[in-house]
Every structure is written in C-alpha cells, then in structure tokens.
Amino acid sequence: MIDAQGLTRRYGEFTAVDGISFTVDEGEIVGMLGPNGAGKTTTLRMITGFLPPTDGHLTVGGRDLFSDPVAARREVGYLPENVALYPEMRVAEYLRYRAMLEGLPRAKARPRISETVKSCFLEEVENQIIGTLSKGYRQRVGLAAAILHHPSVLVLDEPTVGLDPKQIIAIRELIRELGHRQTLLLSSHILPEVELLCDRVIIIDRGRIVAEGSPRDLQDSWVGNTILRVELKDDPGEAPEVLAAIPGVVDIAFGDTGCYRLECSTSTDPRQSVFEAAKERGWVLLELAREQASLEDIFVRLTTQEPVPSSGRGELGDASQEEVPS
Amino acid sequence: MKGILSVMGRELRAFFFSPLAYIVAALLLVVNGLVFWLIVSYLNDPRAGFGAPLELFFGQTLYFWLVLLFVAPVLTMRLLSEERRSGTIEVLMTAPVTEGQVVVGKYLAALLFYCFLWLPTVAYPALLAYYSEVDWGPVLAGYLGVLGIGALFLSVGLLASSLTKSQLVAAILTFAMLIPLFTFGLLENLFSDAPIRELLSYLNLWQHMEELGKGIVDTRHLVYYLSATVLFVFLSARALESRKWR
C-alpha cells in the first residue's frame, strides 16, 4: 500500500530523512517510532503528499506521489500532529466541507458523515463550534475528517499526544477498530502504545531506519542476553560465587540485599540450576523470574549512543508506565 | 472546479462569521454615505459647477481611495497566512486539490465579499433616479472600475498573505505594495519625457477612475487590471507551493 524507496528530505543543509526504504502492506498497522526530531513527521508529510521528497521514490495505493499527486492524496487520510481545525466552524459543517474537498458527491456525503460521526462518537458535539471543544473531541473530529472519504491508507501523526488517560483509551480503541478496515501508519514516541497497537514497528533515529520488524521479532533479535532476577532470603554470603558458577551465567549484578541479576546467554535457561543450587544449600528462594527485554530497552539502546547500564532497565520501564496509562 | 468551490464556500462563510468583515462593511458604508451626501449637497448649491454626482463619487475624492487601500489588506490578510499559522494548511494541502485551486477559491471568496460590500451603494443611483435623471452608462462604468481596481488590490493582498504566517505582516505588506501601485501614476506630471509620462499615465489609477466615472471605458485599462490580477494570483499559488522546495 505504501512503498518508499530511498526516501530523503533535506531542509537546506540539514538532512531530516536520510534515504529510508520501507513498505506497508494492505491491512497492516505499522508504528513509526523514534525520539523527537528523528524525522517521523517529515516522513509522514512526504507520504501524505504535503512535502515532496528531495530524493527517492514513493507510491501510495499504487499511485506515484510525484507524477500523480492529486490521485495519490485521495488514497490517504491524514491526521497531523497538532490537529489543526477551523475554530469558527461547527463540527458537522467542517465534515461537510472536508467531504466536498475530498470530492465526495453530495448524495454520498450525507450518509457518510452521519456514519463517521457515529463511529467517532461525535454525536453529542455535532452542532458545537469547534473552538469550544476539548482536546479529546478535537482529536476525534480530526480523525473523523481523515477517515471520511474511506482512504485506503490512514496516516496518524502522534494520535494520542496531549490527551488524558481516558481519552487515550478511547482513541486507541478507535484506532484499533480502524486498523481492521484499512492500512494504518502511525507515529509515536510512546512505546507501550506502539507495542499495543501495531503489527510491525519501524524505529527511526536521525533520519535513518535503525530497526524494523514485529515487536516480537525485535525482541528476539535485539535483546541479547536474558536477565534472570533472583532474590534470596537473608542473603547467604556464598551466594555470589555459587550463582556465578552456574553454567550459562555470563555476568552477575547485585541489587538490594539478597537480590541478584544474572545475565545469561540466550540459548540457556539456568532457572532449574538456580533452584537446585538453592535447594542443596537450604536457601529460601523468594523470587526467580526471567525478564524479557521490552521494546523500550531496544528503543533506548538503538537510539542512544551510550550503552544502557543494565541496572537502569527496570527504572525506565516503571517511568514509562506512570507516564502512559493504558 | 469542485476544489475551488469548496475552498471558496468555506472562505465566504468565514468572512460572514468574522466581526472584522462587518467593521469593514460599516466603515465602507459610512464613508461612502458621507461622501455621497457631501457631493449631493455641494451640487445642490446654485453657485456650484455642473457635474453628475456619481461621476464625482467614483474615484474623485481621496476618501474613495483611502477606503480601498484599507479594505484590500483587511479582507485578504487572513486568507493564506492564517492557514499556515494554525497548521490547517497541512490538512488542506493533503486533500486532493492543487495549490492553484486553493488560491483561486480563496481569491474568489474575497472578491465576492468585496462585491457584497459595495452592493448597498447601488442605493445611491437609485435614490438619484427617484428625484432626477440618471445616466446609467457612466454609473455602470464606475462600478466596472470599482470591480477592476478592487480585483487588482485584492490580488496584491492575496500574494502578501501567501508570503507570511502573520496576518499583521500580510496586511502591512499589502499596504506597502499598494501605496506605490496607487501613487506611481500620480507622479505623471513630474516627468517631461514622453515615454515615461505615457507609462505612468497608463498606470494612473486615479485618472482611470476619472474616465470611467465619465463613462469612458478604455479596454487598455481593463487589460491592465486583469493581467496584473492574474499575475498576482499566479504568484500566490507559486508562493504557496514554495513550501515544498525549502
């Protein structure tokens, strides 16, 4: 549905997007992930036909964006980052305007608008002036306008930014529902969101794709060693040596008293050995758990130059959960 | 065509919903009414010279021009700059419409609203016709001039609006471009070289209106308004497109 080859965009001297290539197939939900300024918005703007690429080849819905821009734009529905609407218009009026702009015949537009209003839960504000709406409603009006003409590709730039937790849940539900119907490309810097919604993730940093694949694939190929969390009661003194000697354990780190983090090579699963070592010596095993590296870890590792200290992992995960309730 | 119409429709609605448009309408009517009243009472004086009131009304007073120089920036400053400032341009330019359609739609909306502003002044000749004879030819010619010069001024405003995100800057820029456009022709008498005089006379809007008010329709002048308008509208579309290449 989207086919980008060697897509490049320069602003003067600055290269915002640097020769990225990817495809999005029909019916897929793809998330574009990256820190601020990574080139997400620029990439999306090129796909929607707002900005032409400086270099590269781009087709959307089989239409070349360069030679046939108007037809290609018809295939795309777009929700820009800061959902910009005309504050003086009423919701229904705005949707009528957008339907006309998209070239929907009047007879077709009327049922389409009422259908969209319903699916975006906008019935109560249909006749309200857009300027008086809350951010959540505005986001939904933007989304309604983007899907009004049933585009084959839907592009959403940071669809949940600036919403409260309740609104985030509502928008995500809506997005998931839309994902069943059309190809969807969304950008976000919120990892759990992408993990939750997308079939496939493209991580970009400084204008380049640094990793691509399903959340599962990314985990498998980027986690490296598994972390085993062990907590022992009363912290037996000999524990460090014994644990480090277990086959498969590459490295050992200490936490609070009695807490250990064992780094194990991927192919091995030393959980049984740990249990048996504890049983033999009469230690009381309070916790034995394997930590899966989350997309967050991969993301941080790929988009920062410094390696992430392993002790920082848990903290990062917690912080993100506070920030983004799901 | 549909693209032009939908942009134009939205823009017209925005005009009618904005308080600024009504302020402009009120100002235009107050000034025009006052000028009309002054002219009629002047001509009623037996010592006054001969003349048709509407001939004087169209372009013979400084007020006519002051109002026009004020109305054009105010009507056009919002057109494109506000879309860029608020970011709605992004949604607009990802819809299946071209820059040309957007610009023409917006321009036509401004022009229609401008015509709407002048509509009530039709009452003046109607009023005169009730009391005396009115020669309708010069009146129509006068309105043709109002339309032609208005169209030209509005296209300058459109171009200014396409160049900046700020309405204020757009208005000032329009004013800065209209002042030379309007005054160059008035410098005609300062030069003795025939070619320069002729050129300036061709650009002398005041003189154009004077002739039109008398009922003399010179197609060369109409060609000037039309071609300059088309040029400015075209440049606006280019300016809107320029975001792509920066």
Domain membership flag for residue A315: no
- Average pLDDT (A95-108) is 90
Residue type, B62: L
Residue type, A277: A
Specify the pLDDT at position A286.
87
**DSSP per residue over B167-224, as a string?**
HHHHHHHHHHHHHHHHHGGGGGGG---HHHHHHHHHH-HHHHHHHHHHT---HHHHHH
- Average pLDDT (B66-85) is 92
B20 CB within 8 Å of a chain A CB: no
Domain membership flag for residue A16: yes
Specify the pLDDT at position A278.
86
Which residue has tokens 């309007």? B182
Do residue A80 and residue B90 have CB atoms under 8 angstroms apart?
A: yes
**Pick from A92-96, A242-246, B144-148: least confident:** A242-246
Domain membership flag for residue A255: yes
Specify the pLDDT at position A306.
44
The pair of three-digit structure tokens given for residue B199, joined into one six-digit string: 């050129």
A61 CB within 8 Å of a chain B CB: no
- Average pLDDT (A197-217) is 86
- Average pLDDT (A302-323) is 44
Do residue A86 and residue B91 have CB atoms under 8 angstroms apart?
A: no
- What are the phi and psi torsion angles at A223 (to 5°)? -65, -35
A84 CB within 8 Å of a chain B CB: yes
CA angle A253, A258, A259 (to 5 degrees): 45
Of all residues in chain A, the one with the smallest CA distance to B16 is A88
A211 has a pLDDT exceeding 60: yes
Shared domain check, A172 and A265? no
Specify the pLDDT at position B41.
84
- Average pLDDT (A266-281) is 82
Give B-chain residues touching A132 at CB under 8 angstroms: none
Domain membership flag for residue A322: no
Cα separation of A136 and B139, whole Å? 55
Confidence band for A43, pLDDT divided at 50, 70 and 90: very high
- Average pLDDT (A258-276) is 80
Do residue B14 and residue A73 have CB atoms under 8 angstroms apart?
A: no
Shared domain check, A180 and A144? yes
The closest alpha carbon to A206, from A80, A303, A297, A295, belongs to A303
Beta bridge partners of A5: A57
A308 CB within 8 Å of a chain B CB: no
Shared domain check, A232 and A205? no
Which residue has tokens 């821009």? A69
Which residue has tokens 């777009």? A78
* A101 vs B86, B95, B244: nearest CB: B95
- Average pLDDT (B195-218) is 84
Confidence band for A85, pLDDT divided at 50, 70 and 90: very high
Which of A119-141 are b and which e, b meaning 16 or more Cβ less than 10 Å from the residue's Cβ? bbebeebbeebbeebeebbbbbb
Of all residues in chain A, the one with the smallest CA distance to B17 is A88
Shared domain check, A243 and A141? no
Confidence band for B175, pLDDT divided at 50, 70 and 90: very high
Shared domain check, A239 and A184? no
Which bin fits B95, alpha (ψ -120 to 50), beta or left (φ > 0)?
beta
Smallest CA–CA distance, residue B6 to chain A, in Å, is 6
Domain membership flag for residue A111: yes
Question: How many C-beta atoms lie closer than 10 Å to residue A155's C-beta?
Answer: 27
Residue A319 contacts residue A162 (beta carbons within 8 Å):
no
Residue B179 contacts residue B66 (beta carbons within 8 Å):
no
Do residue A50 and residue B96 have CB atoms under 8 angstroms apart?
A: no
Specify the pLDDT at position A106.
85
Of all residues in chain B, the one with the smallest CA distance to A73 is B96
A74 CB within 8 Å of a chain B CB: yes
Last residue of a domain, one of A193, A214, A235: A214
The predicted complex's ipTM stands at 0.85
Give B-chain residues touching A74 at CB under 8 angstroms: 96
Specify the pLDDT at position A223.
59
Cα separation of B6 and A89, whole Å? 14
Last residue of a domain, one of A214, A234, A251: A214
Q: How many domains would you assign to chain A?
A: 2
The pair of three-digit structure tokens given for residue B70, joined into one six-digit string: 């004020």
- Average pLDDT (B157-175) is 95
Specify the pLDDT at position A294.
65
Cα separation of A15 and A35, whole Å? 16
Burial of A27 (0-12, 13-18, 19+ CB in 10 A): middle
A308 has a pLDDT exceeding 70: no
Q: Is the dihedral of CA A25, A27, A28, A31 positive or negative?
A: positive
Shared domain check, A237 and A197? no
* A50 vs B9, B18, B93: nearest CB: B93
Cα separation of A309 and A300, whole Å? 11
Cβ-proximal residues to B212 (8 Å cutoff; 6+ apart), any chain? B58, B59, B138, B141, B142, B144, B145, B221
On average, the pLDDT of chain B sits at 88
* A84 vs B5, B6, B90: nearest CB: B90
Domain membership flag for residue A308: no
Specify the pLDDT at position A326.
38
Question: How many C-beta atoms lie closer than 10 Å to residue A24's C-beta?
Answer: 23
Shared domain check, A170 and A34? yes
Smallest CA–CA distance, residue A73 to chain B, in Å, is 5
The closest alpha carbon to A81, from A186, A179, A169, belongs to A186
Domain membership flag for residue A303: no
Specify the pLDDT at position A321.
38
Shared domain check, A135 and A81? yes
* B96 vs A12, A50, A103: nearest CB: A103
Residue A48 sits in which domain range?
2-214
Shared domain check, A86 and A235? no
Q: What is the CATH number of the domain that holds A279?
A: 3.30.70.100
Last residue of a domain, one of A183, A214, A245: A214
B2 CB within 8 Å of a chain A CB: yes
Shared domain check, A235 and A198? no
Window 125-154 of A: residues touching B by CB (8 A cutoff) are 142, 145
Give B-chain residues touching A49 at CB under 8 angstroms: 93-94
The highest-confidence range among A23-27, B20-24, B154-158, by mean pLDDT, is B154-158
Long-range contacts of A139-143 (CB under 8 A, 24+ apart): A139/A79, A139/A83, A139/A163, A139/A167, A139/A171, A140/A170, A140/A171, A140/A174, A141/A83, A141/A85, A141/A91, A141/A94, A141/A95, A142/A79, A142/A80, A142/A83, A142/A85, A142/B91, A143/A79, A143/A171, A143/A174
Domain membership flag for residue A304: no
Do residue A88 and residue B18 have CB atoms under 8 angstroms apart?
A: yes
Cβ-proximal residues to A13 (8 Å cutoff; 6+ apart), any chain? none
Cβ-proximal residues to A130 (8 Å cutoff; 6+ apart), any chain? A85, A86, A87, A88, A89, A90, A91, A94, A138, A141
Smallest CA–CA distance, residue A12 to chain B, in Å, is 7
- Average pLDDT (A155-176) is 84
Using DSSP, state whether A316 is helix, strand or coil: helix
Shared domain check, A147 and A244? no
Smallest CA–CA distance, residue A228 to chain B, in Å, is 49
Of all residues in chain B, the one with the smallest CA distance to A106 is B2
Do residue A84 and residue B86 have CB atoms under 8 angstroms apart?
A: yes
Specify the pLDDT at position B104.
96
Q: What is the CATH number of the domain that holds A179?
A: 3.40.50.300
Residue B87 contacts residue A80 (beta carbons within 8 Å):
yes
Shared domain check, A204 and A136? yes
Specify the pLDDT at position B59.
75
Give A-chain residues touching B96 at CB under 8 angstroms: 70-71, 73-74, 101-103
A-B C-beta contacts closer than 8 Å? 68
Do residue A80 and residue B91 have CB atoms under 8 angstroms apart?
A: yes
A89 CB within 8 Å of a chain B CB: yes
Specify the pLDDT at position A292.
65
Find the DSSP H helices in B45-166: 53-57, 62-76, 81-86, 88-92, 99-118, 123-131, 136-163
